[in-house]
Amino acid sequence: MSSKELSAETPVRIDRSLCKACGICIAFCPKQVLEADEGAIAVVAHPEECIRCRMCELRCPDFAVTVRGDRGG
């Protein structure tokens, strides 16, 4: 499945036009939900593992991550 297809159903969305490939969201996700693509842009690889802790969104320096729904929801 491509990340685009996934984004419709996952709680996490990465805005590729804003992502600068810093790796912060990937490094600090407690559930290894995110991975880097060939260009080091973050992709949502394991959406089913996401606990919606929002740390990826809060620590993204480029406002590129959106976590939908409430914590633990």
Residues that bind ligand SF4 (CB under 6 A): 12, 14, 19-25, 29-31, 33-34, 42, 50-56, 60, 62, 64-65, 67
43 binds, among another protein, ligand SF4, none (CB under 5 to 8 A by kind): none
Secondary structure class of 39 (helix, strand, coil) = coil
43 binds another protein (CB under 8 A): no
Calculated CA dihedral for residues 49, 51, 52, 56, nearest 10 degrees:
-70
Nearest to 10 by CA among 59, 43, 40: 43
For residue 63, the one-letter residue type is: F
Q: Minimum CB separation from another protein for residue 27, in Å?
A: 4
Given ligand SF4, another protein, none, residue 35, with its beta carbon under 5 to 8 Å by kind, binds none
- Decide: helix, strand or coil at residue 48: helix
- Among 22, 36, 45, 51, which residue sits at the site for another protein (rule: CB under 8 A)? 22
